[in-house]
Each structure stands twice: as C-alpha cells, then as structure tokens.
Amino acid sequence: MSMNHLARAQQRLRHIAVEWPADPLRPNLQLKTFLAALADHPALSARAVAATNALHQNRVTSRVSNLLFFGSHGYDRRLKNFQIPTPQVVLRPASMPLHYVRLKEGYEKSLKGVGRPWWKVFFGIW
C-alpha cells in the first residue's frame, strides 16, 4: 500500500473510531480505542478498513441474515425466519423461576447506571 493510500486508510479508520458508540457496560474496554490504535498499525490494509466500515454501517447483519441453511434433503431456510420456540420450562426453571426476568431487569438497569443498593446485595434481596 502506498503512503497516500495508507494515510487515507488511517484517516478513515480514525474517523470511524471517533464515530463508534461507546459501550456503557464496559467503560474500560472500548472498541473505539482499539480502532484508533489499529489506525497506527504499520500493516494496516484496505480490507481491514473496508470490513470496519461495513461493521460501522451495519451492512454485515444484512449479509448474515441472507445466509442459507442447507438441510440433508437439499431444502433451505432463511436465517432471519428461523426461530426455535423456547418452552416455559426453560424460561422459568423450577429452581429459580425469576432468574431470566431478573437478568433482563439487571441488564436494563445497568444500561441506565442504576445499581442495587448494598443492603440488597448483602442480604440477597432482589
């Protein structure tokens, strides 16, 4: 890659890194920091920048959703239409029926920055 192409690739990758949204759950581990460091890598390729740009513009999900599953009989199903129903026995295990409900609430609260009070953690109260 010539110096002009390398400089353009570095500039584009730095621009993507600046625009990349921050991960609120892991403030110490950010993809934007990795991308900014990758821009300074001496072996930066145009393919790496193109792949990062595709991720940034969310073009990868449309390509993945068009993948086909081929069965043993030669038929295919689209990935986006493929769903497995989850029975209530799995969603509400007998040992802890509210486990996944609490997990979802905890995830949503952590995105907002709301934590459980220390006394609830200490006494195991949800």
Cα 15 to Cα 39: distance, rounded to the nearest angstrom: 10
38 is written with which tokens? 């990758």
In this prediction, residue 1 carries a pLDDT of 57
- Nearest in space to 46 (alpha carbons), one of 79, 82, 11: 11
99: number of Cβ within 10 Å: 13
pLDDT of residue 83: 59
pLDDT for 25: 73
10-residue mean pLDDT series, the chain (126 residues)? 80 91 81 91 88 80 48 46 72 88 87 87 85
Residue spans of the domains in the chain: they are 3-65, 88-123
pTM of the model: 0.50
pLDDT score, position 82 = 53
Q: What was the pLDDT predicted at 64?
A: 47
Separation between Cα atoms, residue 95 and residue 50, nearest integer Å? 48
Predicted confidence at residue 14, as pLDDT, reads 93
